[in-house]
Structure 1
Amino acid sequence: MKSAFRHEAPRYPSSWTDFPAGPQIQQAVTQVCDDYTQRIFGYHFVKLGALSAQIPLNQSPIRHVVNQVPSETHVTSSLAFNQRASEQDEDTTSTAYENGQSPFSSSYVIGQSHILPFAENSIDGFLLANELDFAQDPHEILREVDRTITQSGYVIISGFNPLSLAGMAKILPVKRDNLLHDARFFTSFRIRDWLQLLGFEIVEQRQIMFSTLFFQPRWQYSERIQQYLSRYLPWCSAAYVILARKRVFPMTAIRPKLKLKPRFSAVGAASARTPSYRSAKLSK
């Protein structure tokens, strides 16, 4: 198994359009996130990374959403992507405004994913849309997430599946200029193990996108076929989405029920010697 740490930083995507099937991946991840975010309540939600910033959370009850991206270029690309998405989907935009939430009212923070400018136990939810696949040190990112998340906070992580057709195409020498060749393709079992070591409980996992991802899809799989593959062949999906929750169990001291009696008692020994001392003195 290769180490998760990279000596050189990989190429980082600025938008979902950098992939041949990027818009389809973004749409599939958004559908799952819309369902997951309805369970997350609180005050602050952070979308970590450039790809996460382009996932609209219109169904989230949390109003304050922060997008942390590496540079100003990613801010511009994210705003442009969200603007195009809103023009293509007017129903989602109108629904968000009816709920009192603007899909483009989120604030942006420029910074690296492994250095979060947030206080400890202050964030109620995180979204890492394929952020670990393009990270130089994914362990450091998860440690920062663990530091800043609340004791019952949620984290949503999506990633590419190396056991899929896309993982096999990554090994082949085709389309080397594609950014997917720089992605790590961590297995979901490995991500779940990292989360459990940090004290997270895996709530749910869904398999999405049964495609090679390296080529522009010429046709759309029907929803029925997608459901069939997700039910009977989940291991071959191109991507997955994990929902985990932080669990902190308080430590309480347990008092012993039985009290052990000491074997030696100084008071008892002194009282035992007193009569013998008096009898010896009187005999003289």
Structure 2
Amino acid sequence: MKAARSVKPITMPDSWRDIPWGEYYRMAIELRLQNWWPKIYGFHLLKLGQLSAELDTKLSIVSHQVNVTSNAINADVIASLDYLPFENKSVDVCLMAHVLDYSADPHWLLREADRVLIDDGWIVLTSFNPISLLGLGKCTPVLRQKQPYSSRMFSLRRQIDWLSVLNYEVMTQQNFQIMPCSRPIKRDGSRYHTGGCLNLIIARKRTLPLTPTALKFALPRMSVKGRVLGATRNHSEP
């Protein structure tokens, strides 16, 4: 029997500053989320991972925000992201900045976030785009062991497929920051690109009712015109 291939664990950076041009990536993501935070409502927001904890979410109308990281840096709760210490359906929003890129099992991580999200809850995903200049760097042996090229990069389409399996409705999908070393500008926050270094997906958890309801519909009324067969005989006949 062929042994299953093990995925080499990847360590998430403790800060955006540990990634080349990471501060530009952080600023670009914050610009993209500015128009969305007033639309994302709820009571509890989880910021999963060190990179999520550093994102500015002051524009969010969600009052209770908790940083969950695997170390003590910017942490409100220190825990493994693979086993979140929260009850089922207890969180309104999950912010996952580049968490999938640094996970050995991104499918499990999505399922764990799905577990704690309430019905119609929000999930915000950011990631590196493999179809970009960063993706070209990942193909270079010299750069492959360095940040951010050492991370696992998943395309927008692949992540959307994972979310569709969990029955999520994608509200927006964006690709931006074409040049890694360029400082993001405010007027670029609403423009859509292809081939950018960063991906953004905002989706909502949709839950179908498990109890089927009876279909209520009216049968078309059939009007019978004329007399019933056998009733047309004249009663005067013998």
TM-score range, shorter chain: 0.7 to 0.9
- List per-residue Cα deviations over 1:53-107 (Å, max 9, x = no partner): 00010111111001000112xx1xx4xxxxxxxxxxxxxxxxxxxxxxxxxxxx7
Q: In the alignment, is the contact (CA less than 8 A) between 2:24 and 2:184 conserved in 1?
A: no
Q: In the alignment, is the contact (CA less than 8 A) between 1:129 and 1:157 conserved in 2?
A: yes
Secondary structure at the aligned position of 2:141 is classed as coil
What is the letter of the counterpart of residue 252 of structure 1? Answer: P
- The aligned residue for residue 23 of structure 1 is 23
CA 1:168–1:44 in structure 2 vs 1: closer, same or farther (change >3 Å)?
A: same
Residue 146 of structure 2, aligned match among 178, 200, 221: 178
The answer on 1:114 being equivalent to 2:82 is yes
The answer on 1:129 being equivalent to 2:97 is yes
Q: TM-score, normalised by structure 1?
A: 0.69
Secondary structure at the aligned position of 1:179 is classed as coil
CA drift at 1:256: 8.4
The answer on 1:69 being equivalent to 2:69 is yes
Q: Distance in 1 between matches of 2:195 and 2:31?
A: 19
Q: In the alignment, is the contact (CA less than 8 A) between 2:32 and 2:189 conserved in 1?
A: no
CA drift at 1:206: 1.7
The answer on 1:198 being equivalent to 2:195 is no
Q: Distance in 1 between matches of 2:80 and 2:35?
A: 28
Q: In the alignment, is the contact (CA less than 8 A) between 2:172 and 2:201 conserved in 1?
A: yes
Q: Distance in 2 between matches of 1:45 and 1:222?
A: 27
Q: Distance in 2 between matches of 1:46 and 1:34?
A: 17
Larger radius of gyration: 1
- The aligned residue for residue 8 of structure 1 is 8
CA drift at 1:35: 2.1
What is the letter of the counterpart of residue 123 of structure 1? Answer: V
CA drift at 1:33: 2.2
- List per-residue Cα deviations over 1:207-255 (Å, max 9, x = no partner): 22112x4xxx3x647667x589x54xx3311111110001112243326
Q: In the alignment, is the contact (CA less than 8 A) between 1:25 and 1:209 conserved in 2?
A: yes
Q: In the alignment, is the contact (CA less than 8 A) between 1:40 and 1:124 conserved in 2?
A: no
- The aligned residue for residue 196 of structure 2 is 237
- The aligned residue for residue 42 of structure 2 is 42
- 1 or 2, which has the higher helix percentage? 1
Q: In the alignment, is the contact (CA less than 8 A) between 1:156 and 1:244 conserved in 2?
A: yes
- The aligned residue for residue 206 of structure 2 is 247
Q: Distance in 1 between matches of 2:64 and 2:189?
A: 34
- What is the Cα-based RMSD across aligned positions, in Å? 2.3
Q: Distance in 2 between matches of 1:24 and 1:189?
A: 24
Q: Distance in 2 between matches of 1:168 and 1:175?
A: 10
CA drift at 1:192: 0.5
What is the letter of the counterpart of residue 25 of structure 1? Answer: Y
- The aligned residue for residue 228 of structure 2 is none
Unaligned 5+ runs, structure 1: 79-106, 259-284
Q: TM-score, normalised by structure 2?
A: 0.82
- List per-residue Cα deviations over 1:84-134 (Å, max 9, x = no partner): xxxxxxxxxxxxxxxxxxxxxxx7110111111111111000100001000
Q: Distance in 2 between matches of 1:207 and 1:257?
A: 46
CA drift at 1:195: 0.6
Q: Distance in 1 between matches of 2:114 and 2:138?
A: 31
Unaligned 5+ runs, structure 2: 219-238
User: Where does 1:78-97 land on structure 2 (aligned, <5 Å)?
Assistant: 78=74
- The aligned residue for residue 168 of structure 1 is 136
CA drift at 1:6: 5.2
Q: In the alignment, is the contact (CA less than 8 A) between 2:27 and 2:184 conserved in 1?
A: no
User: Where does 1:268-279 land on structure 2 (aligned, <5 Å)?
Assistant: none
